[in-house]
Amino acid sequence: QVQLVQSGSELKKPGASMRVSCKASGYTFSSYGMNWVRQAPGQGPEWMGRISTNTGNPTYAQGFTGRFVFSLDTSVSTAYLQISSLKAEDTAVYYCARDGGGGWDHRWFDPWGQGTLVTVSS
């Protein structure tokens, strides 16, 4: 079955960097784009951006430029989210979520990874 499995929870100090991985299985990785979504405590989801798994081209939403980097390792069907210069306000659950369909406009999210809790605290 189609599945996205993310790396485990992280506790980081302000100023540190971290990387979240999202390993896909059950489908052709390069056929569907991958999105990253942040959900702060008690808040709704917020789209961070998307990476084309075909070309590797990333698109970042406003507010997620500079310190946030999306990347791929297509040889192991894995997407990555790297965050540098971590701040307390980066504390959130981060999800990867696949494009729902293979069409250019099939940009609903399905499935989602299980989420990675990132806590930034001194």
Partner 1 sequence: DIVMTQSPDSLAVSLGERATINCASSQSVLYRSNNKTYVAWYKQKSGQPPKLLIYWASTRESGVPDRFSGSGSGTYFTLTISSLQAEDVAVYYCHQYYSSPLTFGGGTKVEIK
- Which residues of the chain form contacts with partner 1 (CB under 8 A)? 35, 44-47, 59, 61-62, 95, 97, 100, 105, 107-115
Q: Which of 2, 1, 10, 17 is nearest to 115 (CA)?
A: 10
DSSP annotation of 15 reads: T
User: Between 3 and 17, whose beta carbon lies closer to partner 1?
Assistant: 3
CB nearer partner 1, residue 17 or residue 65: 65
Give the Cα separation of 122 and 114 in Å (integer): 26
In whole angstroms, the minimum distance from the beta carbon of 45 to partner 1 comes to: 5
- Which candidate, 33, 54, 45, 49, places its Cα nearest to that of 101? 33
Q: In the complex, what is the shortest distance from the CB of residue 111 to partner 1, in angstroms, rounded to a whole number? A: 8
| 51 contacts 57 by C-beta, under 8 angstroms | yes
Q: Quick one: 27 or 109, whose CB is closer to partner 1?
A: 109
To the nearest whole angstrom, how small is the minimum distance from the Cβ of residue 72 to partner 1?
Answer: 20
Residue 105 C-alpha from the chain's centroid: 19
Q: Between residues 15 and 101, which has the closer beta carbon with respect to partner 1?
A: 101
| Of 65, 23, 31, the residue nearest 48 (C-alpha) | 65
CB of 27 to partner 1, least distance (A): 14
